[in-house]
Structure 1
Amino acid sequence: MEAVIAIVALLFVLFLALGAYATVKVVGAAKRGVDRTITQARRTVEDHTLRAKSFAQPGPVGEIAQLRLKLRTSMRATQDTLHAGVAEDETLKESIGLFERLSVHGHELDGELKRMESEPDRATLAQRLPSLRERTERLTHSADSLRWAARDRAHRFANDDLDALSAQIDVESGALRHWTKAEPPLPPPPWPEAPVADHATVQQTWPQTPRSHSAEEPTSPALDPPADRPVYPWQKKPRPESTT
């Protein structure tokens, strides 16, 4: 009986522990979701503020806002591209490592630009602006290079897969339409070669000459002798010739 009670108590404790763990995980996921939402909302508000300053405030202050907006947009786009592509291409992990190192310099520059926005000395701000502009160009160029290289790699893999798929479809389509293939015509049968004549056995034939009429050939019948001419009464009889 005591063993049964102990087992029930142990199961109860396990259920409580599992419930507490599940509650902590759910609360943590909800908290991360809320933090992500708050961060995204704050980022959106800040981006709109920078865009408004870049148009509303001309001069160094407006250019500082433009540099911050350009830097943040480039870094964020590269980060999203790399993290989306690493799920299908693990070779991008090295690129993500390089981007994280680049992000350290990016956050440092963004903080410095943010501090320069509230700088009251306009002369100092104008003096520092060329250096800040150069650093921003270098960072955004590196981020853009990583992003476009990752996109070109994904497009190349997609094109290779599409080429292979198209070739397989062409083969399958040809197999399905096998009846449309015309059979090749049969080659004509070879003619037998004419036998070579032996000059020793070949006899030359000449055209026959016309033969003369021989006795054996039947002769054409002679013409019938002419019949006696009729004697008319007015014709004179010939006188008999004298015998003396």
Structure 2
Amino acid sequence: MEAAILILTLLFVAFVVLAVYAGVKAVRAAKRGVDRTITQARRSVEDTTLRAKSYGQPGVQGELAQLRLSLRTSMRATQDALNAGVAEDASLRESLELFERLSVHGRELDDDLRRLEREPDRATVATLLPGLKERTGRITHSAESLRWAARDRARRFADDDLAALNAEIDVEAGALRHWTTDGPVPGGNAGGPPRSETAGPAGPATSGAGGPTA
């Protein structure tokens, strides 16, 4: 009796622990989902604001907004392409690591551009624009190089797979048409007993096992 009570108690404790663990994981997953949604919404709002500034504000403010928008768009597109490709092609992990190092420089540049947007000395900011443009171009060029290389690699694999599939289909189509070379001739003696090649023409019919009747 005591053993049965002990077993039931252990099972109850295990069930409670498992329920608590599952609840904690569910809460953490929900929190990550909420954080991801908030981050995406914040990015969308900021991108929309930058796009409006780049078209609606002339001069230094508009150029800074355009640089930030170009930088963020290029970096995000490269990140999405590499994250999507690494799940199917493990060799892209090294490219993803390089991109993470590049992202550090991208975030630093974005922070610098954001601070300069609030800088009241427009003349000083204007003198910094050529260097900022050159720095932005270097980062976006590296990001685009990684992105297009990953896409070209995926396209090459897809082309190779399609070529192999086409070859297999050609072989299968040839096998399905085997009757044109060595199969039975349509309309022949298919399904019937084989015809004897040594049998002669049939003789006249007789009335019995003996000789001809008188």
TM-score by length of 1: 0.73
Instruction: Check if 1:125 corresponds to 2:163.
Output: no
**Distance of 1:108 and 1:97 partners within structure 2:** 17
Structure-2 residue corresponding to 1:196: none
**Distance of 1:2 and 1:120 partners within structure 2:** 80
Structure-1 residue corresponding to 2:71: 71
**Distance of 2:119 and 2:158 partners within structure 1:** 49
SS in 2 for 1:91: helix
Residues 173-192 of structure 1 correspond to what in structure 2 (within 5 A)? Answer: 173-181=173-181
Residue 177 of structure 1: CA displacement? 1.6
Instruction: Check if 1:34 corresponds to 2:38.
Output: no
**Distance of 2:87 and 2:55 partners within structure 1:** 39
SS in 2 for 1:119: coil
Structure-2 residue corresponding to 1:9: 9
Residue 180 of structure 1: CA displacement? 3.6
SS in 1 for 2:171: helix
Residue 142 of structure 1: CA displacement? 0.1
**Distance of 2:172 and 2:143 partners within structure 1:** 44
Residue 181 of structure 1: CA displacement? 4.8
- Deviation digits for residues 54-91 of structure 1 (CA, Å, limit 9, x no counterpart): 01111111000000000000000000000100111100
Give the letter aligned to residue 65 of structure 1: A
Residue 162 of structure 1: CA displacement? 0.5
Structure-2 residue corresponding to 1:48: 48
Relative to structure 2, which stretch is displaced further, 14-23 or 167-176? 167-176
- Deviation digits for residues 117-156 of structure 1 (CA, Å, limit 9, x no counterpart): 1110001110111111111000000000000000000000
**Distance of 1:178 and 1:117 partners within structure 2:** 74
**Distance of 1:3 and 1:173 partners within structure 2:** 69
**Distance of 2:98 and 2:149 partners within structure 1:** 13
Residue 179 of structure 1: CA displacement? 3.0
Residues 51-130 of structure 1 correspond to what in structure 2 (within 5 A)? Answer: 51-130=51-130
Give the letter aligned to residue 137 of structure 1: G
Residue 11 of structure 1: CA displacement? 1.3
Moved over 6 A (4+): none
Residue 175 of structure 1: CA displacement? 1.6
Residue 172 of structure 1: CA displacement? 1.1
Q: Which has the higher helix share?
A: 2
Residues 149-168 of structure 1 correspond to what in structure 2 (within 5 A)? Answer: 149-168=149-168
Residue 12 of structure 1: CA displacement? 1.2
Stretches of structure 1 lacking an aligned partner (at least 5 in a row): 183-244
Give the letter aligned to residue 51 of structure 1: R
Give the letter aligned to residue 142 of structure 2: S
Residue 174 of structure 1: CA displacement? 1.4
- Which of 1 and 2 has greater Rg? 1
**Distance of 2:62 and 2:102 partners within structure 1:** 25
SS in 2 for 1:120: coil
- Would you say how many aligned residue pairs link Structure 1 and Structure 2? 183
Structure-1 residue corresponding to 2:190: none
Amino-acid identity (%): 73
SS in 2 for 1:26: helix
TM-score by length of 2: 0.83
**Distance of 1:11 and 1:112 partners within structure 2:** 58
**Distance of 2:115 and 2:181 partners within structure 1:** 76
**Distance of 1:5 and 1:172 partners within structure 2:** 66
Structure-2 residue corresponding to 1:172: 172
